[in-house]
Amino acid sequence: MCTNGAIKIDDTSVAFCIKHFEEPSEFGIDEGRISKLELRVKGKIVANYDRGWDIKPADETVEKELQYVLATYN
């Protein structure tokens, strides 16, 4: 299943696009349900996971968004 959305953290809108499954997987983030994830700020990719980290979150706002997505979908 694919899910798109956005949340506002510290006055910054962070858009997310994730691919997640019903059951956890060895390919998921922390062996969870999310196998693909993309976070964007102002159209720029700020974090990307595709069965492994391509771009890790680089600042506190992006890390907060990641934690939100993990708590909700992983």
Q: What is the pLDDT of residues 33-64, one digit of tens each?
A: 999 999 999 999 999 999 899 999 989 989 99
**10 Å Cβ neighbour count for 28?**
21
Amino acid at 32: G
Across the chain, what does the average pLDDT equal? 93
Q: Which two tokens stand for residue 45?
A: 């990719």
Average pLDDT over residues 23-33: 93
Structural domain boundaries, residue 44: 2-73
Q: How many folded domains does the chain comprise?
A: 1
68 φ, ψ (degrees, to nearest 5): -60, -50
Regarding pTM above 0.85, the answer is: yes
Q: Measured between alpha carbons, how far apart are the two ends of the chain, in Å? A: 12
List 37's β-bridge partners, or say none: 18, 49
